[in-house]
Amino acid sequence: MYVCVFLGILAISVVHADLGTLRPHILFILADDLGWHDVGYHDSEIQTPNIDMLAAEGVKLENYYVTPLCTPSRAVLMTGRYLIHSGMQHGVLVAQNPRCLPTDEILLPQMLKDSGYSTHMVGKWHLGFCKFQCTPNHRGFDTFFGEVPMFIYLPFQAVHAPLQVPDKYSDMYKDTIHDESRRTYAGMTSCMDEAIGNITRTLKDKGIWNNTVIVFSTDNGGARTFGASNYPLRGQKASNFEGGIRGPAFVSSPLLDPLVRGTINNELMYIGDWFPTFMNLAGGHVIGSKPLDGINQWETISRGVPSKRVEIVYNIDPLWPGCKSSTRDTWIGNPYFDICVSAAIRVGHWKLLTGHTGCSNWETRPEIAPKSRTVESSDDGMVRLYHIKEDAEEKVNLVHYRPDIVFMLLQRLHYHNTTAVPPGEVDKFSVRADPARHGMAWNPWI
Three-state secondary structure string covering the chain? CHHHHHHHHHHHCCCCHHHHCCCCEEEEEEECCCCCCCCHHHCCCCCCHHHHHHHHHCEEECCEECCCCHHHHHHHHHHCCCHHHCCCCCCCCCCCCCCCCCCCCCCHHHHHHHCCCEEEECCCCCCCCCCHHHCHHHCCCCCCCCCCCEEEEEECCCCCCCCCCCHHHHHHHCCCCCCHHHHHHHHHHHHHHHHHHHHHHHHHHCCCHHHEEEEEEECCCCCHHHCCCCCCCCCCCCCCCHHHHECCEEEECCCCCCCCCCEEECCCEEHHHHHHHHHHHCCCCCECECCCCCCCCHHHHHHCCCCCCCEEEEEEECCCCCCCCCCCCCCCCCCCCCCCCEEEEEECCEEEEECCCCCCCEECCCCCCCCCCEECCCCCCCEEEEECCCCCCCCCCCCCCCHHHHHHHHHHHHHHHCCCCCCCCCCCCCHHHCHHHCCCCCCCCC
Q: Which of 325 and 224 is assigned the larger pLDDT?
A: 224
Quickly state the pLDDT bin for 327 (edges 50, 70, 90): low
What integer pLDDT is reported at residue 12 of this predicted model? 43
Residue 126 annotated to the active site: yes
Lowest mean pLDDT segment, chosen from 287-301, 322-336, 347-361: 322-336
Under CATH, what is the fold of the domain 314-417?
A: Arylsulfatase, C-terminal domain (3.30.1120)
2-309: what fold? Alkaline Phosphatase, subunit A (3.40.720)
Burial class of residue 254 in the structure, from the number of CB atoms within 10 Å of its CB (0-12 exposed, 13-18 middle, 19+ buried): middle
Q: How far is CA 320 from CA 26, 76, 364, in A?
A: 37, 20, 28
Delimit the domains of the chain by residue range.
2-309, 314-417
Q: From the candidates 25, 37, 42, 70, which is the catalytic residue?
A: 70
Least confident interval from 223-227, 304-308, 440-444: 440-444
Q: What is the predicted pLDDT for the residue at 280?
A: 95
- How distant, in Å, are the alpha carbons of 282, 333, 334, 351, 385 from that of 405? 39, 17, 14, 9, 8
Is residue 9 predicted with pLDDT exceeding 60?
no
- Is 70 marked active-site? yes
Give me the pLDDT at residue 175, please. 94
Residue 16 has pLDDT above 50, yes or no: no
pLDDT category of residue 19 using cuts at 50, 70 and 90? very low
| Mean of pLDDT over the chain | 90
- Options 25, 37, 120, 126, the catalytic residue: 126
Residue 17: pLDDT band (50, 70, 90) is: very low
**Residue 5: its pLDDT value, please?**
55
Residue type, 36: W
Residue 377: the pLDDT is 61
Please write the tens of the pLDDT for every residue from 145-174.
344 888 999 999 999 999 999 999 999 999
Confidence check: pLDDT of 406 > 90: yes
- Determine the angle formed by the axes of helices 274-281 and 70-79, rounding to 10 degrees: 40
pLDDT digits (tens, 9 = 90+) for 415-424: 999 999 999 8
Q: What percent of the chain has pLDDT over 90?
A: 75
CB 241 within 8 A of CB 358: yes
pLDDT (0 to 100) of residue 374:
62
Residue 369's pLDDT is 64
pTM above 0.85, yes or no: yes
Residue 22: its pLDDT value, please? 63
Q: Tens digit of pLDDT for each residue in 214-257?
A: 999 999 999 999 999 999 999 999 999 999 999 999 999 999 99
Confidence (pLDDT) at 15: 38
